[in-house]
Amino acid sequence: MLLGILGMNSLDCTPATNSLIRSEADSQRTLYPYVTGTSVVGIKYKDGILLAADMGGSYGSTLRYKSVERLKPVGKHSLIGASGEISDFQEIMRYLDDLILSDNMWDDGNSLGPKEVHNYLTRVMYNRRNKFNPLWNSLVLGGVKNGQKYLGTVNMIGVHYEDNHVATGFGNHLALPLLRDEWHENLTFEEGVILLEKCMRVLLYRDRSAVNKLQVLFSLCGIHTSRLLGNCCTV
Partner 1 sequence: MDVSAGDLNAPHSMGTTIIGVTYDGGVVLGADSRTSTGMYVANRASDKITKLTDNVYMCRSGSAADSQIVSDYVRYFLHQHTIQLGQPSTVKVAANLVRLLSYNNKNMLQTGLIIGGWDKYEGGKIYGIPLGGTILEQPFAIGGSGSSYLYGFFDQAWKEGMTQEEAEQLVVKAVSLAIARDGASGGVVRTVTINSEGVTRKFYPGDKLSLWHEELEPQNSLLDILSTGSPEPMVS
Residues that bind partner 1 (CB under 8 A): 16-17, 19-23, 26-27, 29, 31-36, 57, 59-62, 64-65, 67-68, 83-87, 90-91, 136, 138, 155-157, 159, 168-169, 172
* Residue (130 or 148) nearer to partner 1, CB: 130
* Residue (53 or 187) nearer to partner 1, CB: 53
Which of 14, 30, 36, 62 is the catalytic position? 30
* Residue (60 or 222) nearer to partner 1, CB: 60
Compute the least distance from the CB of residue 159 to partner 1, in Å: 6
Compute the least distance from the CB of residue 199 to partner 1, in Å: 16
Compute the least distance from the CB of residue 97 to partner 1, in Å: 13
Reduce the DSSP state of residue 2 to 3 states and report it. coil
Q: How far apart are CA 40 and CA 54, in angstroms?
A: 8
Q: Are 22 and 43 in contact (CB under 8 A)?
A: no
Q: Can you say how many angstroms the Cα of residue 61 is from the centroid of all Cα atoms in its chain? A: 22
Q: Is-catalytic flag, 234?
A: no
Residue 164: DSSP 8-state: S
Rounded to the nearest 10°, the torsion over CA 145, 197, 137, 121 is: 0
Q: How far apart are CA 229 and CA 217, in angstroms?
A: 6
Compute the least distance from the CB of residue 203 to partner 1, in Å: 14
Nearest Cα neighbor of 171 from 53, 35, 73 is 53
* Residue (15 or 109) nearer to partner 1, CB: 15
Taking each helix axis from N to C end, the angle separating 114-130 and 86-105, rounded to the nearest 10 degrees, works out to 130
Catalytically active residues, by annotation: 30
